[in-house]
Amino acid sequence: MEASTTPVKSGAAGAATFAGSDSRKFNYYDPKGRKATHYEDVTLDVQPDPERYLLQDWIINFSDGTPTYSKDWTRCKSADWHKYRSVDQEWEKTHYQRQSTICGTIQSVIENGRRSGAATRFDKSWVKVLQDHLGAYKHAEFGLGTSLMQAQRYGYTQMINNVILTNSSYKLRFAQDLTLYLGEIGLDIEGGIDKDAGKRNWLENPIWQGVRRSIEEIMGATDYVEQYVAINLVFEPLIGELFRSGFILQMAAASNDFITPSVVSAAESDYERNLANTVEFVHTLLNDSQYPLHNNIIISEYIDKHAKLAHAAALQLQPLWSLPRVKVATFADSYDRARNRFSHVLTECGLQVPTLA
């Protein structure tokens, strides 16, 4: 009863042929497209599911009986939570490449700007805007980042949680970008930049209280889908882009500032990806084989709630547009664009656009 074959000398693919010797693809999930993507291979089913392959079920519960992962952590429902794929297909390699590129770009913009003495030529009224208001806004970005960091624990699949995780990573990086940027140009500006002014405005200035309220509502939400949707479908278009693109990017040049727009625009390209990922996520829920209507009602409810807050917050921001000495943009125009963007995004998703009044 002894085996009769000669041992194969090489451990390389193709050195021998036998059952399974050419089975070189992960075969336990269905790719979304014709072929599995690299992202799918390194992401799918890493967070297990008793309905798929978790033979022994979750083996620990919270004291109230909730298992390690629960579908009840959102009011949305899905016939197949595993269907979602992120649009940007990020995994660690692509995430670090992109983040690192942004860090490098921002740093060289700041370094070269400072070397040319750019900050010393900023209009004085503009310096105060940056100190007080870009300084305040960085806290909003931080709140979004920490909310998403919380939310990435709750999704029912790896695909959902990882896309929320990278979103969090982008937001927290950007909050730090702004913080460090203000610190660095402050070194070049006569009289410096008061490092506490931003937070003081964030906490106390009536202009910012609506925004802070909006952010705190997102931080306090216990439904991760609510958080994700409120951030990317509501807050970002109505407040984030309004402030970043509609205010900073438009006003800066007229105040002799070419650096700040470059720093801030990184967040705009981050958002394009996060938005695409969110739209796809919502699209998946709204086209669910069992619960499309239910999800539409829940998500619309979330949008309605957060849009009201964001709308009120946006109106409170209006005085900002009067602050720069040279006024090249108006709040009305910028907010119109923001609202159009908001409507457009919701319509693309197949959602009702709430009336903002």
Partner 1 sequence: MAASLTLNKITSQKGISIAEATSRVADLGWTPTYVQEAETFPTDYRISKVPRDPMKQVLRSYFPMQEEKDNRVYGALDAALRGDMFRNVEPRWVEWMKLFLAIIPFPEISAARSMAMVARLAPGEELRTGFTMQMVDEFRHSTIQMNLKKWYMENYIDPAGFDITEKAFGKCYAATIGRQFGEGFICGDAITSANVYLTVVAETAFTNTLFVAMPSEAARNGDYALPTVFLSVQSDESRHVGNGHSMLMAMVNDPSNHLLLERDMKYAFWQNHAIVDAAIGTLIEYGTTNRDKNKESYVELWHRWIYEDYYRTYMLPLEKYGIKIHHDDVSAAWDRLVKKNYVHKIAQFFAVGWPVNFWRIEAQTEKDFEWFEHKYPGWYAEFGDFWKWYGRKSVPGQTNMLVDQENGYVYPHRCWSCMCPCVIREDFCVGEVDGKLYTYCSEQCRWTHMVAFQGEYEGRPTPAMGRFKGQRIWEDCYHGWDLAEAIKDLGFVRPDGKTITAQPHLRFDQRDMWTLDHVKGHTIQSPLVLIREMTPEQRDAHVAEYRAGFKIKPCNGACSNGHHHH
Query: Hey, which residues between 198 and 217 contact partner 1 (CB under 8 A)?
Result: 199, 202-203, 212-213, 216-217
Phi and psi based region of residue 315 (left: phi greater than 0; alpha: psi -120 to 50; beta: remaining): alpha
- Token pair for residue 37? 């993507």
Nearer residue to partner 1 within complex by CB, 250 or 274: 274
Buried b (16+ CB within 10 A) or exposed e, 258-278: ebbbbbbbbbeebbebbbebb
Contact between 260 and partner 1 by CB under 8 A: the answer reads no
| CA nearest to 71, candidates 189, 185, 154 | 154
Q: Which residue in 32, 75, 128, 150 binds partner 1 (CB under 8 A)?
A: 150
Window of 168-176, 232-240, 275-283, 290-298 that interacts with partner 1 by CB under 8 A = 168-176
Contact between 318 and partner 1 by CB under 8 A: the answer reads no
Nearer residue to partner 1 within complex by CB, 2 or 190: 2
Contact between 3 and partner 1 by CB under 8 A: the answer reads yes
Contact between 42 and partner 1 by CB under 8 A: the answer reads yes
- CA–CA gap between residue 282 and residue 347 (Å, rounded): 12
Computed over its alpha carbons, how large is the radius of gyration of the chain? 24
Window of 61-69, 126-134, 272-280, 320-328 that interacts with partner 1 by CB under 8 A = 61-69
- CA–CA gap between residue 246 and residue 220 (Å, rounded): 28
Nearer residue to partner 1 within complex by CB, 12 or 289: 12
For residue 44, give the DSSP letter.
Answer: T
- CA–CA gap between residue 10 and residue 180 (Å, rounded): 54
Q: Which residue in 86, 131, 157, 166 binds partner 1 (CB under 8 A)?
A: 166
Contact between 194 and partner 1 by CB under 8 A: the answer reads no
Angle, vertex CA 95, rays to CA 91 and CA 96, nearest 5 = 125
For residue 86, give the DSSP letter.
Answer: -
- CA–CA gap between residue 10 and residue 8 (Å, rounded): 6
3-state secondary structure of 17: coil
- Token pair for residue 155? 């999704």
| Rounded least distance, CB 68 to partner 1, Å | 4
Q: Tokens 């998403």 — which residue? A: 148
| Rounded least distance, CB 355 to partner 1, Å | 24
Contact between 16 and partner 1 by CB under 8 A: the answer reads yes
Contact between 33 and partner 1 by CB under 8 A: the answer reads no
Q: Which residue in 33, 59, 191, 357 binds partner 1 (CB under 8 A)?
A: 59
74-93 residues in contact with partner 1 (CB under 8 A) are 91-93
Q: Tokens 């400072």 — which residue? A: 114
| CA nearest to 178, candidates 137, 148, 127 | 137
| CA nearest to 200, candidates 191, 192, 209 | 209
Q: Which residue in 85, 133, 139, 244 binds partner 1 (CB under 8 A)?
A: 139
- CA–CA gap between residue 231 and residue 182 (Å, rounded): 25
Contact between 191 and partner 1 by CB under 8 A: the answer reads no
Nearer residue to partner 1 within complex by CB, 27 or 322: 27
Contact between 96 and partner 1 by CB under 8 A: the answer reads yes
Contact between 190 and partner 1 by CB under 8 A: the answer reads no
219-258 residues in contact with partner 1 (CB under 8 A) are 219-222
Window of 156-164, 295-303, 318-326, 335-343 that interacts with partner 1 by CB under 8 A = 156-164
| Rounded least distance, CB 291 to partner 1, Å | 24
| CA nearest to 270, candidates 294, 248, 298, 240 | 240
Contact between 262 and partner 1 by CB under 8 A: the answer reads no
Window of 146-154, 233-241, 247-255, 322-330 that interacts with partner 1 by CB under 8 A = 146-154
